[in-house]
A and B are shown apart, each in its own frame.
Chain A
Amino acid sequence: MGERQAVAFEFERVTVLRAGRRVLDEVTAGIPAAGITVVSGPSGAGKTTLLRLCNRLAVPDAGRVRYRGQPLDELDPLVLRRRVGMVFQRPAPFPGSVADNLAVARPDVGAAELGTALKRVALDPGLLGQEARTLSGGELQRMCLARTLVTQPETLLLDEPTSALDEQPKRVFEDTARDLAAQGITLIWVTHDDAQAARVADRIYELRDGHLTGTPTEEAKP
């Protein structure tokens, strides 16, 4: 691997419209590659939209997003999505066992690697044979995280992944995420939970009224 660049995502006057409303309004910002960047803000502020731009589940109406220097629209979206994994707010288990779920992205993967993926998210590899839909909420969300890790992503997008979890499983998820960041994975974590943001973030940006504040780029603007 080449030398790691300091910025993971750069937004260049990015605008997203939904039903005539500017969900993102000429956002210009950079998200560093190191550690955990939290994007906070009230519901409906466009946090999810911002994340979805990063793996091209959505595209901007104007402006440009770059990933590690390359414009997203010049990258193969299928390759990009393996480099930039995503965990959604509501876990979406696929039919079948935990192993079936983990193997969706890489059907050729061996049982040993699947077990390792579960260990990385603090789940027992003994769960591999279990029906995914019988897991608890916290286990299910961590299984979804493990499912993403199987593609060996450099970056993880976390869209309020613990919003439906109780305090204890929420803390387990946070610890897991911190471990992954320590292993060199870039994390961009969307949350409206200020206490959680304070616990996990290396830096916090705020998205409000379509503008991202708190970023070095924004602060440098006149």
Chain B
Amino acid sequence: MSTPVGWAGLAVSLLLVAVAAGISWWQQLGLHRQIVIAAARALAQLLLVGVALTLVISPGRPIWWSWLWVAAMLGYAATVARRRAPEVPHLLPLALASFTAAAVVTLGVLFGLHVFPLTGRTLVPIAGMMVGNSMTATVLAGRRLTDELRDKRDEVEARLALGQPSRQAAAPYVRAALRAALSPQIETTKATGLVFLPGAMTGLILAGTAPLQAVLVQAVVMFLVLAATATTTVVIALGLIRRLFTPDHRLVHLPTPADH
């Protein structure tokens, strides 16, 4: 497949960056420097990834290079989740576990049932979509559950004092956290195609794929993201419950975000 954008095309597209910077300069926003730096940085990062991906998924390269790439993505995403929600205890190992679970489920279905052929060219981008969306859902679910248990400590302890086991006492707050983390994804899924054209489909169409073919791939990607976010959030929530309660069903002390 020939790509419609060449180096010359890329250079011309920099005019669009110039438009954004020009608007900043004209309206005295003081952002033109940042716009240029952001565009340059994004281009450099993308080129670097492009070169690395070319090496990893080039034909003939053993597939374990791609698996290594996926593992590195999982690890990096877990550290980013930890940094974004420092108030959530034990988030790093939990995020790693949840991304791994989501990977097993989603990659298992897509490759195990031959929706896509297992090659570096399919594995790396699909895992990337899965990890990116799971990371956002992880931060949302972890933060919401920790907030709920801290803010409603009186209620949780009243349930424990009635003899409810910790899993049961935490269930209403787990449900609230899961709903909060999954709802945005459900809304996005509902609006797809009507309100916006998703990235994967747009990219495929631009690259010359027939629209219907692009739609099929996009639909699979959306279902992948739904399953990945659901799996990630449930693993995070149940894992957190195990760590926020002691084995003898006491709720541990939860510091407020301001303490971090």
Contact = CB atoms under 8 A, between A and B. Distances in A.
Contacts of B163: 78-79, 81-82, 105, 151
A196 to B, nearest CB: 22
A58 B164 contact: no
Nearest to A77: B248
A151 B162 contact: yes
B259 to A, nearest CB: 12
B150 interface: no
Nearest to B158: A92
Contacts of B187: none
Contacts of B249: 56, 77-78
A85 B163 CA distance: 9
Q: Which 5 A-B pairs have the closest CB atoms?
A: A105-B162, A82-B163, A92-B154, A92-B158, A86-B161
Contacts of B157: 57, 88, 92
B244 to A, nearest CB: 14
A104 B161 contact: no
B164 A56 contact: no
Contacts of A81: 160-163
Which of B158, B159, B163, B164 is packed against the most chain A CB atoms within 10 Å? B163
28 contacts: A55-B161, A56-B248, A57-B160, A57-B161, A57-B250, A58-B250, A77-B249, A79-B163, A81-B160, A81-B161, A81-B162, A82-B162, A86-B161, A88-B161, A92-B154, A92-B155, A92-B157, A92-B158, A94-B172, A95-B172, A104-B159, A104-B162, A105-B162, A105-B163, A105-B164, A147-B162, A148-B161, A148-B162
A85 B160 CA distance: 10
A90 B157 CA distance: 12
A131 to B, nearest CB: 16
Interface in A108-163: 144, 147-148, 151
B165 interface: yes
Interface of A is mostly: loop
A85 B161 contact: yes
A82 B250 CA distance: 15
A59 interface: yes
A105 B159 CA distance: 8
A56 B164 CA distance: 13
Interface string B144-186: 0000000000110111111111000000100000000000000
B8 to A, nearest CB: 63
Contacts of B164: 78, 104-105
A90 B155 contact: no
A82 B165 CA distance: 11
A22 to B, nearest CB: 18
Nearest to A80: B163
B96 to A, nearest CB: 31
Contacts of B165: 78
Nearest to A18: B253
Interface in B78-120: none
A88 B158 CA distance: 8
A188 B243 CA distance: 32
A3 B40 CA distance: 83
Interface in A40-68: 55-59
Contacts of A90: 154
Interface in B10-36: none
A59 B154 CA distance: 18
Contacts of A104: 159, 162, 164
B17 to A, nearest CB: 52
Contacts of B158: 88, 92, 94, 144
A94 B171 CA distance: 13
Nearest to B247: A77
A105 B162 CA distance: 6
Given A78-B164, A81-B160, 17 more contacts: A57-B160, A57-B161, A57-B250, A77-B249, A78-B165, A81-B163, A82-B162, A82-B163, A86-B161, A88-B154, A88-B161, A94-B155, A104-B159, A104-B164, A105-B162, A147-B162, A151-B162
A88 B156 CA distance: 12
A183 B165 CA distance: 29
A186 to B, nearest CB: 16
A78 B247 CA distance: 11
Contacts of A82: 162-163
Nearest to B159: A104
Contacts of A88: 154, 157-158, 161
